[in-house]
């Protein structure tokens, strides 16, 4: 029988919930035939014996494993890239997949530093001979999210710790009014003030707005239905 620890690690690597590439490379590189037989017998969720006692893959598992290794390959490629190129390619892929995938663009625009977001925009221009703003406008034509997404990807935010308390309170009230939709049926992301606040204010400033919003609206901004599609 093979090493139980190695067999367990190998089974986990082939589990279909993510490739443990370090264990996989280590084990496969020095695994004798008897270990492979023990592995096949130890993972009945992957292998089955036919009437001739021949151990074979369960056909339905093969596409799942191929998908896992494809993700592994993609992860290696992305890891090796310059971060700006990686973000540019991820945004392009998101745009190609359609409007429902714009969360990737929002994540990149909101989590990267101003310099890194600028770098990603520069990389996007070099890779595709177009600006990310141009492609967002084209792909999201007629959708209310368009102006907000353009604002987010083109932002160059202040990144210091300073926050103006009075401005925070004022803008928290503006957000509250826009999200309540009082007197109109406008989508909040079409409101110019909402776009201005979300696309230009620093992260500490927006965090302070969210905290003050709780006091103004008596609930978290996360509880607003229009922001939770």
Residue 31: partners with Cβ closer than 8 Å, 6 or more residues away: 2, 6, 10, 39
Do 82-156 and 4-79 have the same topology in CATH? yes
DSSP 161: S
pLDDT band at 49; cut points 50, 70, 90: confident
Cα dihedral sign, 154-159-164-169: positive
**Residue 1 confidence class, pLDDT cut points 50, 70, 90:** very low
* Residues paired with residue 48 on neighbouring β-strands, in sequence order: 56
153, 136 contact by CB (below 8 A): yes
| pTM greater than 0.75 (yes/no) | no
Reduce the DSSP state of residue 45 to 3 states and report it: coil
Q: Between residues 45 and 96, which one has the greater pLDDT? A: 96
CATH fold of 161-229, please? Annexin V; domain 1 (1.10.220)
- Residue 7's Cβ-count burial label (10 Å; 0-12, 13-18, 19+) is buried
Q: Contact 77/45 with Cβ under 8 angstroms? A: no
SS3 of 56, please?
Answer: strand
Question: Architecture of 4-79 per CATH?
Answer: Orthogonal Bundle (1.10)
Mean pLDDT of 6-20: 55
| Contacts (Cβ under 8 Å, ≥6 apart) of 25 | none
Every domain of the chain and the residues it spans:
4-79, 82-156, 161-229
CA–CA distance, 153 with 76 (Å, rounded to integer): 26
The predicted-structure confidence for 171-194, as pLDDT tens digits, reads as follows: 999 988 888 765 566 777 778 888
Cβ-contact 193, 147 below 8 angstroms: no
**β-bridge partners, 86:** none
pLDDT value at position 2? Answer: 45
Helices (H), 129-223: 132-139, 145-153, 165-180, 192-200, 203-217
- Alpha-carbon distance of 16 to 224, in angstroms, equals 36
CATH fold of 82-156: Annexin V; domain 1 (1.10.220)
Between CA 71 and CA 79 the distance in angstroms is 12
Q: For residues 190 and 146, what is the distance between their CA atoms, to the nearest angstrom?
A: 9
Q: Is 47 helix (H, G, I), strand (E, B) or coil?
A: strand
**Separation CA 196–CA 6 (nearest Å):** 55
**Predicted confidence (pLDDT) per residue in 59-80, tens digit:** 777 787 777 777 767 776 776 7
């Amino acid at each position: 029988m093979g090493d139980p620890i190695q067999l367990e690690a190998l089974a986990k690597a082939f589990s279909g919930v993510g490739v443990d590439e370090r264990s996989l490379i280590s084990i496969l590189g020095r695994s004798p035939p008897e270990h492979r037989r023990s592995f096949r017998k130890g993972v009945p969720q992957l292998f089955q014996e036919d009437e001739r006692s021949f151990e074979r893959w369960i056909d339905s598992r093969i596409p799942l494993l191929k998908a896992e290794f494809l993700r592994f390959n993609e992860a290696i490629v992305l890891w090796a890239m310059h971060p700006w190129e990686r973000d540019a390619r991820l945004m392009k892929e998101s745009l190609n997949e359609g409007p429902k995938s714009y969360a990737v663009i929002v994540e990149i625009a909101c989590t990267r530093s101003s310099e890194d977001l600028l770098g990603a925009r520069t990389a996007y221009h070099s890779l595709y001979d177009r600006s990310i703003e141009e492609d967002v406008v084209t792909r999201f034509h007629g959708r209310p999210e368009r102006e907000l997404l353009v604002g987010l990807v083109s932002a160059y935010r202040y990144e210091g710790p300073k926050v103006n308390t009075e401005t925070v309170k004022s803008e928290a009230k503006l957000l509250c009014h826009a999200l309540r939709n009082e007197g109109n049926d406008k989508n909040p992301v079409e409101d110019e003030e909402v776009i201005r606040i979300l696309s230009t204010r620093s992260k500490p400033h927006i965090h302070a707005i969210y905290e003050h919003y709780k006091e103004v609206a008596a609930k978290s901004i996360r509880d607003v239905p229009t922001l939770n599609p």
